[in-house]
Chains A and B, each alone.
Chain A
Amino acid sequence: MHFDTLHNQFQAGKLGMWLFLGQEVLFFAALFTAYAVYRGNHTEMFHYGQFFLNWQMGAANTIVLLFSSMTAAWSVRCAQLEQRKGLLLTIAVTWLCAATFMIIKYFEYTHKIHVGSVWGASFNIHDFSELPEKLQKLLTEQGITTTEAANAKLGKDGLGLGTFFAVYFCMTGLHGIHVLVGMGLYAWLFVRALKGSFNRKYYGAVDNIALYWHIVDLIWIFLFPLLYLIG
Chain B
Amino acid sequence: MAGGVVEKPAGAYGGSTKNYLNETRGIKNWLITLDHKRIALMYLVAVTSALLLGGFFAIALRTVLWDGAVRDPQDLFLGLRIEQMYNRYFTLHGAVMVFLFIIPGIPASLGNFVLPMQLGAKDLALPRLNLMSLYLYWIGAIFFVGVLALGGLDTGWTLYPPYSLGRDTSIPLILALSAVFILGFSSILTGLNFIVTMHRLRPPGMGMYDMPLFLWALYATSLIQVLATPVIGLTLGLSLIEHVFHIGIFLPEYGGDPVLYQHFFWFYSHPAVYIMILPAMGVQSELIATFSRKHVFGYKAIGWSSIAIAVIGFIVWGHHMFVAGQSPAAGLIFSFLTFFVAIPSAIKVFNWVATMYKGSIELKTPMLYGLAFMYLFGIGGLTGLFLASIANNVHLHDTYFVIAHFHMVMVGSTLNAFFGGVHYWWPKMTGRMYNETLAKIACLLVFVGFNLAFMPQFVAGTRGMPRRYANYSDEFTIFHQWSTVGAYILGAGVLLQVIYLTHSWFKGARAPKNPWGAASLEWQSDSPPDFHNFTKPVVVMAAYDYENWEYDANTGGYELRKEVVETGRSIATVHN
Contact = CB atoms under 8 A, between A and B. Distances in A.
A121 interface: yes
A120 B245 CA distance: 8
Contacts of B341: none
Contacts of A22: 226-227
A48 B216 CA distance: 51
A163 B251 CA distance: 10
A149 to B, nearest CB: 19
Given A2-B123, A19-B196, A166-B247, A26 B230 contact: yes
Contacts of A33: 263-264
Contacts of B538: none
A23 B188 contact: yes
A3 B196 CA distance: 12
Interface residues of B, number: 44
A31 B241 CA distance: 14
A34 B249 contact: yes
B148 to A, nearest CB: 29
A23 B230 contact: yes
A123 to B, nearest CB: 8
Contacts of A156: 254-255
Interface residues on chain A, size class = 35 or more
A167 B129 CA distance: 32
B174 interface: no
Given A23-B229, A163-B255, A15 B199 contact: yes
A230 interface: no
A157 to B, nearest CB: 10
Contacts of B237: 174
Nearest to B124: A2
B122 interface: yes
B126 A12 contact: yes
A14 to B, nearest CB: 9
Given A24-B230, A121-B254, A30 B249 contact: no
Interface string A1-32: 01100001001110110011011101111110
B238 interface: yes
Residue picked from B126, B192, B195, most chain A C-beta under 10 Å = B192
Contact of B248 (A23, A26, A166): A166
A38 B255 CA distance: 10
A147 to B, nearest CB: 20
Interface string A147-176: 000000000100010110011011000100
Which secondary structure dominates where chain B touches chain A?
A: helix
Interface in B213-254: 226-231, 233-235, 237-238, 241-242, 245-249, 251, 254
Interface in A93-136: 119-123
Interface string B129-157: 10000000000000000000000000000
A3 B256 contact: no
A194 B257 CA distance: 51
A30 B234 CA distance: 7
Contacts of B417: none
Contact of B247 (A8, A27, A162): A162
A122 B247 CA distance: 8
A30 B231 contact: yes
A26 B247 contact: no
Nearest to A20: B192
B196 A12 contact: yes
Contact of B121 (A2, A24, A38): A2
A8 B121 CA distance: 13
A159 to B, nearest CB: 9
A170 B247 contact: yes
A68 B233 CA distance: 28
B495 interface: no
B195 A19 contact: yes
Given A2-B121, A19-B195, A160-B255, A27 B233 contact: yes
B192 A8 contact: no
B193 interface: yes
Nearest to A162: B248
Nearest to B259: A37
30 contacts: A3-B125, A3-B201, A8-B200, A12-B125, A12-B197, A15-B199, A16-B125, A16-B196, A22-B226, A22-B227, A23-B188, A23-B226, A26-B227, A26-B231, A27-B230, A27-B231, A27-B233, A28-B234, A30-B264, A33-B263, A34-B260, A37-B260, A120-B256, A121-B254, A122-B246, A156-B255, A160-B255, A163-B249, A170-B238, A174-B237
Given A12-B125, A23-B226, 20 more contacts: A2-B201, A12-B197, A16-B126, A19-B192, A19-B195, A19-B196, A22-B227, A23-B192, A26-B231, A27-B233, A34-B260, A41-B257, A119-B248, A120-B251, A162-B248, A163-B249, A163-B254, A166-B248, A170-B249, A174-B234
